[in-house]
Amino acid sequence: MDSLRFDPPSDLADEQLQRLLIDRWLYRGALLALLVVLAILVTTLSAGGLDSVPRQIVVGVLIVAGGAATIVFVAMRHQDRKLYRLLRDRRRRQRSASGQTEQRGRPPP
């Protein structure tokens, strides 16, 4: 079960982690586009009725593919949150090391 754990690559520089996140955003965008196409296909094919067995099989396969894409999408999002956390923690440590304090909200006038 340990092989399924995702540990963010802590040896990468901040810029490399940001590039990795951008790549992962692009992959997730492609998965989202695939999900939209699958939803359109399932809706179009099932709107005419599922009278024939081949049509039922095609719609079933499309639904399973959509479910698999959704699982991958959610798993990637979960891993991305770990990367965000790693970047945020690094930036906080850099700010505290340089003596800057975190400011929330609007700066004073």
Query: pLDDT tens digits for 42-61?
Result: 999 888 888 889 889 999 99
Q: Is 22 left (phi over 0), alpha (psi -120 to 50) or beta?
A: alpha
Q: Mean pLDDT score of the chain, rounded to an integer?
A: 82
Tokens standing for residue 96:
């505290």
Looking from the CA of 18 toward its CB, the CA atoms found within 13 Å total 6
pLDDT score, position 64:
96
pTM above 0.85, yes or no: no
> Over 50: is that where the pLDDT of 1 sits?
no
pLDDT score, position 100:
64
**Which residues in 51-82 are b (16+ Cβ under 10 Å) and which e?**
eeeeeeebbeebeeebeebeeebeebeeebee
